[in-house]
A and B are shown apart, each in its own frame.
Chain A
Amino acid sequence: MSARTRELFALIPVALLVTAGFTAVLITNSDQLGNLSVFYGGYFLALCVATHIVIRIRLPDADPFLFPLVALLAAFGMVMLYRLDEGLARDQANWFVLGLVLFSATLIFLRDYEALERYRYSIALAGIILLILPRFLGHETNDAFLAVDLGPITFQPTELAKICIVVFLASYLNERREVLVVGARNIAGVVVPPLKHLGPLLVVWGAAMLLLVFIRDLGSSVMFFGAFLALIYVATARISFVIIGLAMFVVGAYFFAHTAAHIQQRFDIWLDPFNDPGGSGYQLSQSLFAQADGGLFGRGLGDSLVQLPGCHGDFPDRCAILPAPHTDFVYAVIVDELGLFGGAAVVLIYALIAERGFKTAILAEDGFSKLLATGLTAILALQAFVIIGGVTRVIPLTGVTLPFISYGGSSIVANFILLALVLMVSDKARRRVRREGEAAA
Chain B
Amino acid sequence: MNRQIVKLFGFILVLYTLLFGFTSYWSIFDADSLEANNANRRPLLEEQRIRRGTVFADDGRTQIAVSRPQGQGNNQIYVRHYPHGALYGNPIGYSFVERGRVGFEQSHNDELVGNKTEFLSVLDELQGHKQEGEDIVSSLNAEAQEAAVNGLGGRRGAVVAMVPSTGEIKAMVSIPEYDPNVVRNSKAFQRLNTDDSAPLFNRATQAGYPPGSTMKVVTATAGLDSGELSPSSTFSGRSPIEIEGVPLSNSGGEQFGTIDMTTALTNSVNTWWAQAGEKLGNDTMFKYMDRFGFNQKPQLDLPGFQLTSSGVYDGARLLDASDRIDIGRVAIGQERLRVTPLQMAEVAAAVANDGQLMEPRLWSKVIDPDGRETKLDPARQSKVMSEDTASKLNTMMQSVVREGTGTAAAVSGIDVAGKTGTAELSPGVNDAWFIGFAPATDPKIAIACIVEHTSGFGGPTCGPIFKAVAETILNGRTG
Whether both chains belong to one complex is answered with yes
Residues of B within 8 A of A235 (CB): 1
Stretch touching chain A among B3-11, B83-91, B161-169, B315-323: B3-11
Q: Is the CB of B12 within 8 A of A289?
A: no
Question: In this complex, what residue of A is CB-closest to B24?
Answer: A340
A168 nearest CB across to chain B (Å) = 18
Apart from A296-B27, A388-B19, A392-B19, what are 6 other A-B pairs with CB-CB below 8 Å?
A: A278-B39, A291-B34, A295-B28, A295-B31, A309-B71, A340-B23
Does residue B412 face the partner (Cβ distance < 8 Å to A)? Answer: no
Assembly CA distance A321 to B48 (angstroms): 14
Q: Which of A230, A293, A350 contacts B16 (CB 8 A)?
A: A350
Stretch touching chain A among B74-82, B189-197, B223-231: B74-82
Q: Is the CB of B23 within 8 A of A233?
A: no
Does residue A274 face the partner (Cβ distance < 8 Å to B)? Answer: yes
B145 nearest CB across to chain A (Å) = 32
Does residue A314 face the partner (Cβ distance < 8 Å to B)? Answer: no
Residues of B within 8 A of A237 (CB): 1, 3-4
Assembly CA distance A385 to B38 (angstroms): 29
Q: Is the CB of B8 within 8 A of A378?
A: yes
Q: Which of A272-329 contact B (CB under 8 A)?
A: 274, 277-278, 285, 288-296, 305, 307-312, 321
Residues of B within 8 A of A385 (CB): 12, 15-16, 19
Most buried by A among B16, B26, B32, B37: B26
The 5 closest A-B pairs by CB, nearest first: A277-B39, A292-B34, A292-B31, A309-B77, A392-B22
Q: Is the CB of A392 within 8 A of B23?
A: yes
Assembly CA distance A370 to B4 (angstroms): 11
Q: A295-B28, A344-B20, A358-B5 are in contact. Are A310 and B42 (CB under 8 A)?
A: no
B440 nearest CB across to chain A (Å) = 54
Does residue B45 face the partner (Cβ distance < 8 Å to A)? Answer: yes
Q: Is the interface of B mostly helix, strand, loop or mixed?
A: helix
Residues of A within 8 A of B18 (CB): 389, 394
Q: A32-B74, A394-B18 are in contact. Are A340 and B37 (CB under 8 A)?
A: no
Q: Is the CB of B70 within 8 A of A230?
A: no
Assembly CA distance A277 to B49 (angstroms): 23
Residues of B within 8 A of A340 (CB): 23-24, 27-28
Does residue B478 face the partner (Cβ distance < 8 Å to A)? Answer: no
Question: In this complex, what residue of B is CB-closest to A388?
Answer: B19
Residues of B within 8 A of A124 (CB): none
Does residue B425 face the partner (Cβ distance < 8 Å to A)? Answer: no
Question: In this complex, what residue of A is CB-closest to B23?
Answer: A343
Does residue A56 face the partner (Cβ distance < 8 Å to B)? Answer: no
Q: Is the CB of B40 within 8 A of A289?
A: yes
Q: Is the CB of A32 within 8 A of B16?
A: no
Q: Is the CB of A378 within 8 A of B12?
A: yes
Does residue A393 face the partner (Cβ distance < 8 Å to B)? Answer: yes
Residues of B within 8 A of A370 (CB): 1, 5
Does residue A259 face the partner (Cβ distance < 8 Å to B)? Answer: no
Does residue B73 face the partner (Cβ distance < 8 Å to A)? Answer: yes
Interface size on A, residues (CB 8 A): 55
Q: Is the CB of A233 within 8 A of B15?
A: no
B25 nearest CB across to chain A (Å) = 8
Q: A305-B45, A310-B71, A378-B12 are in contact. Are A344 and B23 (CB under 8 A)?
A: yes
B163 nearest CB across to chain A (Å) = 40
Q: Is the CB of A347 within 8 A of B76?
A: no
A25 nearest CB across to chain B (Å) = 11
Q: List 26 A-B contacts (CB under 8 A).
A: A230-B8, A233-B8, A234-B4, A234-B8, A235-B1, A285-B40, A291-B23, A291-B27, A293-B42, A296-B27, A296-B28, A305-B42, A305-B49, A309-B48, A309-B49, A335-B23, A340-B28, A344-B20, A347-B19, A347-B20, A374-B8, A381-B12, A382-B15, A385-B19, A389-B19, A392-B26
Q: Is the CB of B74 within 8 A of A29?
A: yes
- When each residue 316-340 of chain B gets 1 if its CB lies under 8 Å from chain A and 0 otherwise, what string results? 0000000000000000000000000
Does residue A355 face the partner (Cβ distance < 8 Å to B)? Answer: yes
Residues of B within 8 A of A367 (CB): 1
- When each residue 61-86 of chain A gets 1 if its CB lies under 8 Å from chain B and 0 otherwise, what string results? 00000000000000000000000000
Assembly CA distance A312 to B24 (angstroms): 34
Most buried by A among B18, B27, B71, B77: B27
Does residue B185 face the partner (Cβ distance < 8 Å to A)? Answer: no
B271 nearest CB across to chain A (Å) = 64
Does residue B314 face the partner (Cβ distance < 8 Å to A)? Answer: no
Q: Is the CB of A31 within 8 A of B72?
A: yes
B37 nearest CB across to chain A (Å) = 7
Interface size on B, residues (CB 8 A): 45
Residues of A within 8 A of B74 (CB): 29, 31-32, 307
A294 nearest CB across to chain B (Å) = 5
Assembly CA distance A370 to B37 (angstroms): 49
Q: A292-B26, A321-B42, A389-B19 are in contact. Are A309 and B37 (CB under 8 A)?
A: no
Residues of B within 8 A of A321 (CB): 41-42, 45
Q: Which of B6, B20, B41 contacts A358 (CB 8 A)?
A: B6
B residues neighboring A (CB under 8 Å) = 1-9, 12-13, 15-16, 18-20, 22-24, 26-28, 30-32, 34-35, 37-42, 45-46, 48-49, 70-77
Does residue A163 face the partner (Cβ distance < 8 Å to B)? Answer: no
Q: Is the CB of A361 within 8 A of B28?
A: no
Q: A321-B45, A358-B6, A374-B5 are in contact. Are A291 and B26 (CB under 8 A)?
A: yes
Assembly CA distance A355 to B11 (angstroms): 12
A328 nearest CB across to chain B (Å) = 15
Assembly CA distance A354 to B7 (angstroms): 12
Does residue A243 face the partner (Cβ distance < 8 Å to B)? Answer: no
Question: In this complex, what residue of A is CB-closest to B44?
Answer: A309
Assembly CA distance A370 to B1 (angstroms): 8
Residues of A within 8 A of B19 (CB): 347, 385, 388-389, 392, 394
Residues of B within 8 A of A394 (CB): 18-19, 22
Residues of A within 8 A of B32 (CB): 292
Assembly CA distance A219 to B440 (angstroms): 82
Q: A309-B48, A392-B22 are in contact. Are A343 and B8 (CB under 8 A)?
A: no
Assembly CA distance A259 to B46 (angstroms): 42
Does residue A127 face the partner (Cβ distance < 8 Å to B)? Answer: no
Q: Is the CB of A294 within 8 A of B27?
A: yes
Residues of B within 8 A of A343 (CB): 20, 23, 27
Does residue A351 face the partner (Cβ distance < 8 Å to B)? Answer: yes
Q: Is the CB of A393 within 8 A of B46?
A: no
Assembly CA distance A344 to B28 (angstroms): 13
Residues of B within 8 A of A293 (CB): 31, 35, 42
Does residue A21 face the partner (Cβ distance < 8 Å to B)? Answer: no
Residues of A within 8 A of B2 (CB): 362
A239 nearest CB across to chain B (Å) = 9
Q: Is the CB of B9 within 8 A of A358?
A: yes
Residues of B within 8 A of A308 (CB): 45
A14 nearest CB across to chain B (Å) = 21
